[in-house]
């Protein structure tokens, strides 16, 4: 399926839908980001039911600021409109696959219940 480019204009529309959205916050000058890019792309090819999206932090500084992204690359996982994972660092392929597996396995009713009790 490939990846989707996210901007301030389309982020909420893409991120608030049903299903899983993985977001890679990156920049062209960032060496770890360039190393992570092919891992992210290969995973996108394997998981056609997941939206794989990229945010260029240079072009979309407002989005990076909105989500407190202070280190890149940062991977964010959103499921059914809820951010369920966000961590900086270039993940190796097995770790990325593990994150996907864990996000797929979440009980979203439980996640929402827990978020509600923290509010």
Domains of the chain are 3-118 (3.40.30.10)
Separation between Cα atoms, residue 111 and residue 49, nearest integer Å: 21
pLDDT in tens, 51-97: 999 999 999 999 999 999 999 999 999 999 999 999 999 999 999 99
Active site residues: 30, 33
70: helix, coil or strand? coil
- Quick count: other Cβ atoms within 10 Å of Cβ 58? 13
Separation between Cα atoms, residue 28 and residue 81, nearest integer Å: 27
pLDDT in tens, 110-119: 998 988 876 5
pTM of the model: 0.93
Backbone angles phi, psi at 96, to 5 degrees: -60, -45
């Amino acid at each position: 399926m490939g990846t989707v480019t996210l901007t301030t204009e389309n982020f909420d529309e893409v991120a608030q839908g049903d299903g899983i959205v993985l977001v890679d916050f990156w920049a062209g000058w960032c060496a770890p980001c360039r190393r992570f890019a092919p891992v992210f792309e290969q995973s996108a090819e394997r998981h056609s039911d997941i939206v794989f999206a990229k945010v260029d932090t240079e072009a979309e500084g407002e989005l990076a600021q909105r989500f407190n992204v202070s280190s890149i690359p940062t991977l964010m996982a959103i499921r059914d409109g809820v951010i369920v994972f966000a961590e900086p660092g270039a993940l190796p392929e097995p770790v990325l696959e593990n994150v996907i597996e864990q996000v797929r396995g979440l009980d979203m009713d439980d996640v929402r219940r827990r978020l509600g009790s923290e509010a």
